[in-house]
């Protein structure tokens, strides 16, 4: 049951990251105006939005490849979790230094902090699952 939940969580987050990436890459100006709070973080920068769109494309791909290629799951999901966690911590830093107000943390939580937490938890599960799989398939001594 836990494995099913983790795999489906990775699929949903992967598709979400890919959709966000495609929106950022295809129509950065529309993305800039559509995502709550983005316009308060600075002026529109098409190059920057597309750069971050590429990162989200890699994050989504890492999650989806990890679903179907368990031997790469720990590496791929942990890498995605590290970038997303750094991104979330950067949002906290912006509040700490006064760039954004504390309300930005609540506004950004569903799209920034929650995915970082969930993918970090998926990475921990993937490591535990791989360890258990190795133990289950090891020859008895």
Q: Express each pLDDT in 53-89 by its tens digit.
A: 999 999 999 999 999 999 999 999 999 999 999 999 9
CB 50 within 8 A of CB 26: no
- Rounded average pLDDT over 118-123: 98
Q: How many CB atoms lie within 10 A of CB 88?
A: 21
Q: Express each pLDDT in 16-25 by its tens digit.
A: 999 999 999 9
pLDDT-derived band of residue 42, with 50, 70 and 90 as boundaries?
Answer: confident
Contacts of 44 (CB under 8 A, 6+ apart): 28, 29, 32
- Classify 36 as helix, strand or coil: coil
Query: Measured between alpha carbons, how far is 107 from 129 in angstroms, rounded to an integer?
Result: 33
Query: Measured between alpha carbons, how far is 106 from 85 in angstroms, rounded to an integer?
Result: 16
């Amino acid at each position: 049951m836990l494995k099913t939940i983790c795999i489906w969580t990775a699929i949903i987050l992967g598709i979400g990251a890919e959709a966000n990436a495609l929106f950022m890459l295809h129509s950065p100006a529309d993305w800039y105006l559509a995502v709550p709070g983005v316009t308060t973080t600075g002026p529109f920068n098409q190059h920057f939005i597309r750069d971050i769109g590429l990162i989200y494309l890699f994050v989504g791909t890492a999650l989806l490849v990890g679903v179907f290629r368990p031997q790469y799951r720990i590496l791929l999901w942990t890498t995605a979790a590290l970038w997303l966690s750094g991104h979330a911590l950067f949002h906290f830093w912006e509040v700490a230094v006064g760039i954004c107000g504390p309300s930005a943390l609540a506004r950004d939580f569903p799209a920034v902090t929650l995915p970082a937490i969930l993918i970090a938890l998926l990475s921990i599960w993937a490591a535990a699952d791989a360890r258990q799989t190795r133990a289950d398939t090891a020859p008895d001594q």
